[in-house]
Every structure is written in structure tokens, then in C-alpha cells.
Amino acid sequence: MAMNLFIFGLGYSAKGIAARLARDGWRVEATGSDGTVPFEDEGAVHAALSRANAVLSSVPPNREGFDPVLDRYGAALARSDRWLGYLSSTGVYGDAGGAWVDESTPVGTGRRSARSDADLRWLELGARVFRLPGIYGPGRSALDRVREGRAHRIDIPGQVFSRVHVDDIAAGVTLALNAASSAPSGAYNLGDDYPCSQNEVIEYACRMLRAPVPPMQTIEQANLSPMARGFYAENRRVANGKAKRLLGWRPQYPTYREGLVACLERDHEAR
């Protein structure tokens, strides 16, 4: 029997998940500009939910700090025993001063209080909550920033980040769906095995493209957006052991190096 997934918000990561599941024989419906169901059409959404074996949301909190999916459709989701998933952010952990964080680390202390609130609300519904660090992949990587002249090297000694390739997100969510009876609800960090500075990633991308390395700058000199400045205000390493133990997940791209090589190969194939 065909399995049906309904996605709230068909964004970059959700498209990767949808494509992977479609190859596995799933039928996927979704809201979003590239989706098939208008979010505001409650009749159409409820009809799609009635067909769904699983529901995944990738919709972040809105500007007012509320989760639009839970605010409009939370009651219907709470009444269901279907599989629920939510794409969250490791930003819920806040600044750890470069230390490791895992799913037992308290949340809600960072700049993303609205995201933390949504994360906890989905957990209360019994969802599998996938906490994601910096997401990259084809068309959205350090290679693209270098090509477009948007790459920066910021002089913050000891600053590290975790990241994850979009294909590894799709693999983790697929494993959680396929192991629905054995993989408990709760939070799962999906990040690669090698947290490191963003400067290291940019330098590697420049070498791959034989491009000049951008100069080292302070945050003020780089004239970063408020969102980017907030990104650099937090420093942590994200542990992925729970997803490995309970889902059998292993990142196909355990470091940014393998991931960027795959992105460059994909670029060449597309030309």
C-alpha cells in the first residue's frame, strides 16, 4: 500500500526529503510556493492530512514568534496517531562557548527563543524533532558564496560551527520514518562529524575553485546582516550520537570536504 507524506513548507531541505521518499515510492503532498496545497485553504489541508500516514513541518516560527502550523492545525495534529516530524535548529541550544551539545542539553537560552518554543511544542505532540545546524548542499554552499563574492573570513579565534549536507538530512528523516515503530519520538541532532570554523570551509572552497581567499575581517568590517551577526554570536559543537544509535544514521558526508566535493560534482553534471 502506498505511503503518503504531507509536508508543511516545501523549502530547500524538505524538497530533498520529498525527492528521496518519492524515489522510495511515497506519495508526497505539500504546502509552500512549490507545493500542491495552499496553506490557507483549511479544507484542502485537512483533506491532505486525512490521506497522510506521516506529517512533516519545516515551517519556522513567524515574525510574531508563533508557529503558524501549530497555531492553525495543531488541534488536528494532536488528535492523530500518525507519525509527526519537525525540522528544527541547533540554534535552540544557544551559545555553548565551543563545547559539545547533545539532545540532553537545555534549550531556550539562545537568541532563537521562538524556535525553542516551537521545538518544545512539537515534542509535546510526540514528534520526531530534527535539530539541524548549518545546512548546505547544491546551490547553497561555500562554493556558491565564493563564486558570488559573498564569502567572508571573520577573525574570531576559537569559533566553531557544525553543519550538515541536505542529503544527510533527507537520509536521517527517511530512517526515522522507516523505523517509526522502533525509533522513539523526541529530538535528534543531524550534524556531520567535524565541527570547525567557517574560515576553514571558505579557505577549502577557494582552493577547490582556485579563487583568491577573502581577507580576514572583523564582524564590523564585514558589514554582515543582523542574522549573520547572530550566527557568529554563538559557538558550539553538535553531537550526533543519538541519531547514529537509534536511527542507524551515518552521514554520507562526514565532513564539509566530502560534501563540497559532491556539490562541485553536481555543478559539473548540471552544466
63: containing domain: 4-270
Residue 233 is predicted with a pLDDT of 87
Give percent of the chain above pLDDT 90.
84
pLDDT of 180 strictly over 80:
no
Phi, psi dihedral angles at 154 (to 5 degrees): -105, 130
Phi, psi dihedral angles at 90 (to 5 degrees): -70, -5
State how many domains the chain has: 1
Please give the average per-residue pLDDT across 188-199, as a whole number.
97
Sign of CA pseudo-dihedral 56, 62, 68, 71 = positive
Q: How far is CA 7 from CA 14, 116, 234, in A?
A: 7, 20, 30
143 in Cβ contact with 264 (< 8 Å):
yes
Residue 97 is predicted with a pLDDT of 94
Determine the Cα–Cα distance for residues 124 and 104; give it in Å rounded to an integer: 16
Domain of 100, CATH number, reads 3.40.50.720
Residue 270 is predicted with a pLDDT of 72
Only one residue has cell 562526514, namely 254
Band (pLDDT 50/70/90 cuts) for residue 222 is confident
Determine the Cα–Cα distance for residues 65 and 121; give it in Å rounded to an integer: 13
Determine the Cα–Cα distance for residues 137 and 270; give it in Å rounded to an integer: 14
- The better pLDDT of the pair 240, 182 is held by 240
